[in-house]
Structure 1
Amino acid sequence: MKEMYVDPGARRFLAAEKAGRKIDVEIKSFVSHSEMRDFEQAIGQYIAYRDVLRKIEPGRDLYLAISEEIYEDLFEEPIGQLIVKNHGIRLIIFNQITEKIVRWIP
């Protein structure tokens, strides 16, 4: 069986608490020439990390943190909404300038 090595130091990742629940937050930057490619990669990584996290720390929830701009450009589109809903992806949307959270989903 292959092992997945998740190295929080290798990406923008943090652990926190929300309403008494332990959460992990992966902060994604969409910086390549293709936002759709970044979207696909972010969703795939999120699902893989979430599944591993459920096995090793079942009490933690994983959130994907993205900027408002990326949320509006990709995640509010019908394909984005479909994928978020079907895969139960938890999102934190933040303002890139103020670096403040503007929305939690769900």
Structure 2
Amino acid sequence: MTVLLVLVGGALGAPARYFTDRVVQSRHDSGFPWGTFTVNVAGSLLLGVLFGALASPWLTALVGTGFCGALTTYSTFGYETVLLASRRASLYALLNAFGSIAAGLGAAGLGLALGNAL
């Protein structure tokens, strides 16, 4: 049953990631990967809320592992950061690397606090 929950969550999270990335990126005229940044921070916040609220194992499998796992993307974050650096957009590469980590940790911490308050 757990595998099925992860599959369903992933099937919802992957298109949500793609759609969110495309919508966010289309609204920005810079070379910064705002779409990936957004899905990673949103996923960190959601996962923090989930664990802060001490969600049930089935909800953790569905939303935490499945949905958030498919929504967020470390590989694209890494690729885009390296791509920015290779294109000599060093400032964007540094902002993406350090900003994503700081914002993701901050969002996860805020999510934990919000989840604990529920």
- Structure showing greater radius of gyration is 2
Calculate the TM-score normalised by the size of structure 1.
Answer: 0.32
Q: Higher strand fraction: Structure 1 or Structure 2? A: 1
Q: Which has the higher relative contact order, 1 or 2, with Cα contacts under 8 A spaced 6 or more apart?
A: 2
Q: Higher helix fraction: Structure 1 or Structure 2? A: 2
Calculate the TM-score normalised by the size of structure 2.
Answer: 0.30
